[in-house]
Amino acid sequence: MNPKIKDWRGQRVWVIGASSGIGAETARLLLEQGAWVALSARSRNALQEIASDDANAMILPLDITHAQELVAARVRIMEHWGGIDLVLVVAGTYNKMRADDFDLAVAEKIVDTNIRGTLNCLNAVLPSLIAQGQGGIGIVASVAGLSGLPQALIYGPTKAALINLCESLYLDLRPRGIGVYLINPGFVATPLTAGNDFKMPALISATIAAHELMHGIERGEFHIHFPKRFTNWLRLLRLLPYRWYFWIVHKVTGL
């Protein structure tokens, strides 16, 4: 569904959200395989540690909730590289929340980062990608966006929005020669999930997640989801009648 990538050497990749978790491990793998990598996140120190003086790394600290910072970073990338082959929007935030502990301030922060932050990324990169007529953009959503789940009162809907966004982007951009990758991880061991007080089925490391992400892009997949032993069950659940769906989720989670 997207162009395949046989060799990462010389590929110009901007990883937004590269300071920890899946983004950090993906940036490391890309550098190991010879890609040119621009690393963005709020923490300059974390980015410098990941770049590790690699000549192919460019450090561009920013906050995705600030649209002009993303535009300025894109300008620098275009000045240095002359183009962008792939943009990976990995940045996001998570707070577990249920209806009885609804917090508007926290909810707005999640929406600002996960939805408005992603839109800020699109604002910065779409003009360049469309002008090039080639390249790609990958957005990390979550299987939590496939259907409603306990403790994901706000996080889940923001990821559902990103899933819909990627589907619409594919319809608009693929005919223009631009790849779109919807990336839906299951549970991944990252600083964001470290605070969960419930069992996380099929939990994988950020390194494994990064390998799965890159392999999916290499194969030209639109929907990249992992680990499939978990994500395929959630994809199946969304097809069931609500009466069955709610009963199964309650039984499995106890919530």
As a whole number of angstroms, the distance between CA 58 and CA 137 comes to 18
Distance CA(219)–CA(209), nearest Å, equals 15
**List 94, 155, 170, 181, catalytic entry:** 155
Amino acid at 182: L
Rg (CA), the chain: 18
Containing H/E element for 244? helix 242-253
Q: What one-character DSSP code corresponds to residue 116? A: I
Q: What is the pLDDT of residues 46-100, one digit of tens each?
A: 999 999 989 999 999 999 999 999 999 999 999 999 999 999 999 999 999 999 9
Whole-model pTM over 0.85: yes
Known catalytic residue: 155? yes
Give the C-alpha separation, 137 to 165, whole Å: 12
pLDDT in tens, 110-169: 999 999 999 999 999 999 999 999 999 999 999 999 999 989 999 999 999 999 999 999
Q: Which domains occur in the chain, in start order?
A: 12-253 (3.40.50.720)
Nearest to 24 by CA among 213, 194, 186, 217: 213
Closest CA to 137 of 185, 176, 109: 176
**Residue 36: beta bridge partners?**
12
Nearest residue to 155 via CA among 245, 65, 93: 93
